[in-house]
Structure 1
Amino acid sequence: MSTTTSYDYFVTCAQGLEPLVEEELKSFGIEQVKAVRSGVNFSGSKQQGYQVCLWSRYASRVLLRLSEFKVHDVMDLYLGCSYVAWEDVFDIKKTFAIDFSGKNEEIRNTQFGALKVKDAIVDRFRKKLDDRPNVEKGNSQVRINVRLFKDKAHVYLDLAGSPLHHRGYKTETGAAPLKENLAAAIVRRSGWQTDTHMLDPMCGSGTLVIEAALMATNRAPGLLRDGYAFEHWKDHDVELWTSMLAQAQVQNKRNENKSDTRFYANDKSRRLIEIARSNAQRAGVADLITFSVKDATELGNPLDGQTGHIISNPPYGERMGEMTGAIELYSNLGNRFKKSFPGWQVSLFSTDTELLSCIGLRASKTYKLFNGPLECVLKNYSISERSMASDKPAIYATDFANRLKKNLQQRRKWAKREGVDCFRLYDADLPEYNVAIDLYVDHLVVQEYAPPKNIDPAKARRRILDVVATARHVLEIPEDKLFLKVREVQKGKSQYQTLNKKQSLLSASEYNALFEVNLSDYLDTGLFLDHRPTRKKLGELAQGKHFLNLFCYTASASVHAALGGAASTTSVDMSNTYIDWAKRNFQLNKIKGAHHFEQADCLKWLDHCQHQYDLIFIDPPTFSNSKRMQGTFDVQRDHVELLQNARKNLTTGGVLVFSNNKRGFKLDHDAVNELGFEIQDFSKQSIPEDFKRNDKIHQCWILTLCR
């Protein structure tokens, strides 16, 4: 090991934090500093290396360069690491671990690269000392970091061991915790000054306010850590480190509570506030922070008219089901800021630039930062002394709002005449707002058609946010009554996957029938609105008939048939979930009598069916490859065979209503005529008024068996 007093270091950090780390190192008196991607190189003394470990607020790791060499193949990597005098770096009794990153044409797997480095280290010890140290991945005393880039490997000793964001004051966190060094960077980039009062209205486990309080009291962020890996380095200077620790402890003690700045940390979760308070106590700054259980949208100014700085990391609303709540939250926050915090500075950190626009404020500064793999933004705002709050969310989509108002006025009158309380309100009427919106009594289901890959995701996100905010405003729908889903081309097993398990159930009426709809748990709600006229027709045809419903889904057609006076109904579906749902629909309508439910593969069931029916309804899936089936079903390929099998169970003169929603489907008229059916195209009559814009949504035929 070199005995010179100057060492080469590489200080790693999250992407976007390089300027902060560079500035910080210079403030430590380090002069030879050079920022690169995801880190900063510098040359300095051992003391300066220790200082960065103890005092850096923004760095992730401090790596001491041991060697670098060209790597063309695996043998180069092994030999290069073998030449390092590992016996001078750490004692054979110490445990070690390898962190390997990067790849080239020959080394494409990090685990394989780490294995070769480990072999080189172990073989070096065996050659020199006839013994070897042990590898311990989880809690090793020595960490070796090897970074491979193109044809060069850089070998480092990790001075800290565990990442520097492990400050030592957090034992519990919330669901989406901020790393301490990222939180410190957010505070720094917010423009907050240490003599400015600070409020985090959604503090979670308290990381932002704790890091700010540590800055305000100029306390060493690494003092609470449970040791550093460099303490196991053979060249470690115990006396120097003991002296540096003592100085930091004295400074911490001297600066304890030595700040007139007040910090306020609120969260609506009592448990999170308890966690945050405990974290602050371990960090030694609890006396500077006032913790409160409060909803962020009901905040008031805690400073009696004085101004301060709000810094927060609101929920992102990443999943579609969370988006309506996120829009509501951000819109309400914007109104609350304008109403209660005039003259304040506000800084919000989020993964979603478009969601931040719901705040309704113009950002004065924007920074791009990374929270792990997530690209995020920090936006800084100034609240005007004369900002006016609105009780309603901002409307960005004027044309869309006008179309919704027009459709609502027309459709409500039509629905009342029809005797239905659920209908399609909007179906991609405007190309730029490519969604379908259905109204179920006083609930709204918004289905976003997945945008093409050539559409900018940020623009698509902006539009769906506009849609949700505008629809809620125009229709006066509260957050808990709006459901957002993404509709993509579904195939096979993916068709009926559960989205979540909220069980948002509602009773919807259609003509003289009632149906249970589930607005949250599946892509479809349990009632295909476009088949409303077909169900009505089946009810009219069913008087005194024995009715069979194949691929029955939730048996809404069977309900209409039963209410229409069917002598019996039989409903068949492969799904237990839908058969149970079908039974509940019959119970909801208080239907009794000869009504049967079969959980079975409809194709197999038909092969063995011995009963005759006067009226059959078949609305099969476009495609199915369920694990409960043998083979696959394709409606275009297999529809003639399906109708042929159903014909065997249809009485002469009986009627088979056949429909499907495959785009471009072609009924094989010749083959169907050969089966003895008279064909009536019922497609046009089967499209209801609220689906006229999309008259290709399904096709339907009434087939009468003449022989």
Structure 2
Amino acid sequence: MTETSETHPIVLTTSRGLDELLQSEVISLLPDAQPRLKPGQILLDATLRDAYTLCLWSRLANRVIWVLSEGDSDTEQQLYETARSIDWTQHLKPGQPFVVSFSGTNREINNSQYGAQRVKDAVVDCFEDADLARPNVDKINPQVLIQARLWRDKILIGIDLSGKSLHQRGYRTEAGEAPLKEHVASAVLIRSGWTKDTAAALIDPMCGSGTLAIEAAQIATHRAPGLLRSFWGFTGWRGHNPEQWSAVLSAAQQAVTKPSGPIYASDNQVALIAIAKRNADKAGVFDVIEFSHQDALKLSAPKTQAGYIVSNPPYGERLSDMASLVPFFADFGAHLKENFADWRVSLLTSQRDLLRQMKLRASNEYALMNGKLDCKLVNFVLDEQNLETRAASVGQEFANRVKKNMKQLQRFLKQNDTNAYRIYDADLPDYNVAIDVYANWLVVQEYAPPKNIPAEKAQRRLNDIIIQLPSITGVAPENIALKVRSQQKGKRQYEKVASEHNLITVYENGAEFYINPTDYLDCGLFLDHRKTRQIVAQKARRKDVLNLFAYTGSVSVMCAKAGARSVTTVDLSKTYLDWAKRNFTLNNLSLRGAFRFEQADCLNWFSEHTATFDLMFIDPPSFSNSKRMESTWDVQRDHVALLTQAFDRLNQGGEIVFSTNLRQFKMDTESLEAVGFTLENISTKTLPEDFKRNPKIHQCWVLAK
């Protein structure tokens, strides 16, 4: 049996961001200890009684490890030898079930299961060498837990005295969707400042399953967080001293006191309040907390001196979730200013940008982890400065610009029969996105930020955009699609980016088109070609029309509706040809007879067909090296060759409308005139009102034979 008066190396682990708090907690529990700080853990020398005290009383630690050995582990043999140097017969009984928890990897030991296996081998070999019954691994009901923690070429091996993680207090019968871990809740309460003044009122207005309020009640009543735990890692360990543990446990049970200040917990969901009450009852603090069902925006201050509001509000994992929460946080900030002067507010969030909607200046903030979520705890003081309305932020500048654009587009929308248009195109340098409206959807295309803009700053700006758009435009958050647009080559702008299969219809100048706002970088309709489609359609009446590189066939639809004698739609992609056919069906146009659809390599189509046309629309990619194409394509290099082939399939007096979105494109007018074309640059005529902020969006010519 371990000598209780001797000190022994101990390691305490915790979540990232809590190690300094844990060090302070160890000092408060063991005044004579000299804990040493390492990232995510605390090292100290302590007696067995001290170890029991830490297991029972630590609100911040995850595990308490009784260190047995530290040694080299650059190779698997060194790992084995370090583990084998321990006399395991002093810690386990013959035949006793155990389990090894192994964390960390290095070049030689790159699999934690393999590392655990080698430690297990050392344990078993120790017993077999002593002619004792070998202990067996039992992952379900182990009696002894061995921790092996690898860091580069060093391994630490010890007995896990805590058993299950210490954050599992034993009172949580149920939890909400995104439960706050108990030790993180305690850290939040400590960082808020309330633990230094527990006589002050504490309110959690979005309490969920009640973790914050319950942890606060346990702190206020000096109730050890481990009192309810039924399983400990040390009970099956041969070094366990039941008498000492009983003394530590008995002292903790007698230490419980009455609270000195009120604790309030509320939520707008009745089901969550019911869960919180059951959890509090299991924790033994039901009578300490005043629960209520109410909306946080209707929260009223109790008739006490100013206290603390501490909460883990909803923050959503998706941008659309964030956007739906913006009005709440704006209203919550205004409500606090109006009703809680001089109170202190501490909010935990994984979306710091949401808290900025409250228009409050933070006094300090801390980074910490809640499970796998990177979070920030942000503290505010509702002092005179914070009660004043804050000036408009840069995000407000963006909101104002979008509102201005939408107002200016009202005249345009009256003159144009469409519900698909652009409302913003990188108007402000700090907000480098394009925003398109497609019926009741918004598509936000983020241009890749310059390399000199930090990624975190760019992400914050993007969050500003997404979370404000619903209130600015009235579009539901779930109907906002985000895409990142970098310089694309060839067919890459058509590649799939999601598989949500959202198909909606939009209308334009008497035609309807299917749009997929989520699954592709482009949605199925190039908005900057709105006028171009009209121009081509006006030329198409009683003409034989070819739409080469047809994409989803929007130009083909417009020509067919305008009375074209025939329309041939050609594209390499079966997906987009099928889309074009659906667009024809949507507009009650036949898929047979005069309207033909061909899947083919557009670059070789002229050499393989003899049909002639009166009108062609050719809108090739800037560059392509598709595996299905016989050669690469560069619009600057190859446009003359392609248009020369087209010339031979163009009837006398026929026209080609040629478009490209390559900004640096230079039309080889001299070579094409030598072929027999006359050329007219109609780029300015094809630029829609909603794209005039970006006049180089495309270039367009009419080439006549």
TM-score by length of 1: 0.84
SS class of match (2:228): coil
Measured against aligned partners, the alpha-carbon deviations of 1:337-394 in whole angstroms (never above 9, x if no partner) come to: 223433432111123434322221111222222234544321111224797697x995
Which runs of 5 or more structure 2 residues have no equivalent in the other structure?
none
- Is residue 482 of structure 2 the alignment partner of residue 485 of structure 1? yes
Determine the structure 2 residue equivalent to 1:513. 511
Counterpart position of 2:118: 116
d(CA) in 1 for partners of 2:311, 2:523: 37
**Pairwise CA distance, 1:615:** 3.4
RMSD of the alignment, in Å?
4.0
1:12 aligns with 2:13: yes
Q: Is 1:202 aligned with 2:182? A: no
Task: Give 2:146's aligned residue.
Answer: 144
Judge which range, 593-602 or 543-552, deviates more: 593-602
Aligned partner letter, 1:690? D
Matching residue of 2:99: 97
Identity %: 42
**1:695 aligned onto 2:692:** no
Deviations 1:414-457 (A, max 9, x none): 44344545433332233222122334568654432232343123
SS of the residue 2:411 aligns to: helix
Residue number in structure 1 paired with 2:217? 213
Corresponding residue of 2:542 = 544
535-544 vs 634-643, greater mean Cα deviation: 634-643
Q: 1:95 to 1:512 in 2, by over 3 A?
A: same
2: distance between equivalents of 1:131 and 1:672?
92
Give the AA of the match of 2:37: V
Distance in 1 between residues matched to 2:675 and 2:132, nearest whole Å: 87
CA distance in 2, matches of 1:645, 1:169: 78
Aligned equivalents of 2:346, 2:313: Cα separation in 1: 11
Distance across 1 between alignment mates of 2:438 and 2:212: 42
**CA distance in 2 between partners of 1:546 and 1:131 (Å):** 91
Tell me if the contact between 2:549 and 2:602 (Cα under 8 Å) persists in the aligned partners.
Answer: no
Between the aligned partners of 2:295 and 2:557, the Cα distance in structure 1 is: 46
Query: SS of the residue aligned with 1:565?
Result: coil
Deviation at 1:610, TM superposition (A): 8.1
Q: How far apart are 1:598 and its partner, in Å?
A: 4.8
Specify the alignment match of 1:266 in structure 2: 267
Aligned position for 1:222: 226
How far did 1:160 drift? 1.3
Structure 1 segment 539-578 matched on structure 2, within 5 A? 539-571=537-569
Q: Which residue of 1 aligns with 2:23?
A: 22
Change in CA separation of 1:668 and 1:395 when aligned onto 2, cut-off 3 Å? same
C-alpha offsets along residues 615-663 of structure 1, whole Å, 9 cap, x if unaligned? 3434345566889x47886554876787688778765654443434345
- Match for 1:532 among 523, 530, 535? 530
Aligned-residue offset at 1:125: 2.4
Q: 1:212: how far off?
A: 1.7
Partner of 1:35: 36
Going from structure 1 to structure 2, the CA distance change for 1:125 and 1:137 (only over 3 Å counts) comes to same
Residue 190 of structure 2 aligns to a residue whose secondary structure is: helix
Report the CA distance shift for 1:27/1:559 in structure 2 as closer, same or farther (over 3 A).
same
- Counterparts of 1:695 and 1:533, CA distance in 2: 13
**Secondary structure class of the residue paired with 1:368:** strand
Q: CA deviation at 1:692?
A: 3.4
Q: Report if aligned partners of 2:259, 2:288 keep a CA contact under 8 Å in 1.
A: no
Cα 1:396–1:122 change in 2 (3 A) is same
Are residues 466 and 79 of structure 1, via their aligned partners in 2, closer, same or farther at CA, if it must alter by over 3 Å? closer
**What SS does structure 2 have at the residue aligned with 1:129?**
coil
Distance in 2, Cα, partners of 1:209 & 1:609: 77
Matched with 2:172 is 170
Indicate the SS of the match to 1:507.
strand
**1:199·1:310 contact (CA, 8 Å) conserved in 2?**
yes
Structure 1, 397-406 or 80-89: larger mean CA deviation: 397-406
Is the contact between residue 444 and residue 481 of structure 1 (CA under 8 Å) also seen in structure 2? no
Pair 1:232 & 2:236 matched: yes
Q: In the alignment, which residue of structure 1 is the partner of 2:280?
A: 280
Q: Contact (CA 8 Å) 1:680, 1:702: kept in 2 or not?
A: yes
Separation of aligned partners in 2, 1:171 and 1:377: 27
Hey, what does 1:434 align to over in structure 2? 432
Shift of 1:674: 9.2
The structural deviation recorded for 1:292 is 5.2
DSSP 3-state at the match of 1:236? coil
Preserved contact between residue 320 and residue 478 of structure 2 (Cα < 8 Å): no
1:346 matches 2:348: no
CA distance in 2, matches of 1:565, 1:278: 72
**SS in structure 2 of the partner of residue 211 of structure 1:** helix
2:332 counterpart SS class: helix
Aligned residue in 1 for 2:80: 78
Question: Contact (CA 8 Å) 1:446, 1:484: kept in 2 or not?
Answer: yes
Aligned residues: 696
Check the 8 A contact 2:442/2:480 in 1, yes or no: yes
The CA distance in 2 between the partners of 1:139 and 1:613, in whole Å, is 79
Distance 1:50 1:303 in 2: 40
Cα shift at 1:273:
4.3
1:331·1:393 contact (CA, 8 Å) conserved in 2? no
| Residue 686 (structure 1) aligns with | 686
Contact 2:570–2:598 (Cα < 8 Å) also in 1: yes
How far, CA to CA, are the matches of 1:123 and 1:372 in structure 2? 37
Three-state SS of the structure 1 residue aligned to 2:35 is strand
- Distance in 1 (CA, whole Å) between partners of 2:250 and 2:132 is 40
What SS does structure 2 have at the residue aligned with 1:695? Answer: coil
Within a 5 Å distance, the mapping from 1:301-380 to structure 2 comes to: 301=300, 303=302, 307-380=306-379
Q: 1:104 to 1:498 in 2, by over 3 A?
A: closer
Q: SS where residue 364 of structure 1 aligns?
A: strand
Classify the secondary structure of the residue corresponding to 2:560: helix
Quote the offset at 1:274 in angstroms: 4.5
1:10 to 1:689, Cα distance in 2 relative to 1, 3 A: same
Larger deviation, residues 158-167 vs 124-133: 124-133
Is the contact between residue 143 and residue 237 of structure 2 (CA under 8 Å) also seen in structure 1? no
After superposition, the Cα gap between the structure-2 partners of 1:499 and 1:359, relative to the gap in structure 1 and judged at 3 Å, is: farther
Q: 1:53 aligns with which of 32, 52, 55?
A: 55
1:179 to 158, 181, 197: 181
Q: 1:283 to 1:615 in 2, by over 3 A?
A: farther
Alignment partner of 1:132 out of 122, 131, 134? 134
